[in-house]
Chains A and B, each alone.
Chain A
């Protein structure tokens, strides 16, 4: 699935990375706890979260996450958007809730990462 498809499915605004929306994502993870995100193997993943501080982007950097979708209408502060831009991480924002966002992506065929043993 491309980031562009995710944007359409969840009616997202692009906060950063409009030029990069054709990048592919293979797995997804929905969580507000970054250590839980760090516990799972991700390959070209999208992170769905309501957490908008700099550690969300740092976690994405460590995991090579392609795109972060902020749910519940959350918009991160400018320094967080800049950090993502510096590291080529696409940022989307949707007014939809975590549960329905994950449900729609799952329904469209996206699956979670598997746990590292």
Chain B
């Protein structure tokens, strides 16, 4: 089994943020992927998807599924992350107040993504964009 799913994250409509994660969750459930792995993938990807809308003007998410693991690659052409170590700290957020009013920007996004995945890698270049690669073992 080697499957690949690609999603475009719309930067302009916050109400639609999370549609890709909801879709992948349904697909993985149908494929009988273990419940705990489905939940981890869905939460980590949802946080990433929200981040792409808030900070990076949208982007592309590609999900690879095989027998052993699920890999999510979230690529954007946003401003990049100046201090990754700081961004990984719980409670640190640069989200504007209007985003907080929508229930995000608590500074838990990246820590949650790391917590719910077995591997996470952040490649970021200021002014060019960020690619977050996350892996959940099956």
Contacts and interface: CB of A to CB of B under 8 A. Distances in A.
Contacts, number: 76
B47 to A, nearest CB: 6
Interface stretch (A10-18, A47-55, A92-100, A103-111): A47-55
B15 A38 contact: no
A9 interface: no
Q: What class of interface size applies to chain B in its complex with A?
A: 20 to 34
Contacts of B112: 35, 38-39
Q: Chain B interface mostly helix, strand, loop or mixed?
A: helix
Contact of B109 (A35, A51, A55, A79): A35
Q: Assign chain A's interface to a size class.
A: 20 to 34
Contacts of B50: 55
Interface of A: 32-36, 38-39, 49, 51, 53-56, 58-59, 61-64, 79, 87, 116
The 9 closest A-B pairs by CB, nearest first: A35-B108, A58-B18, A34-B103, A33-B106, A35-B106, A62-B42, A51-B103, A54-B15, A62-B46
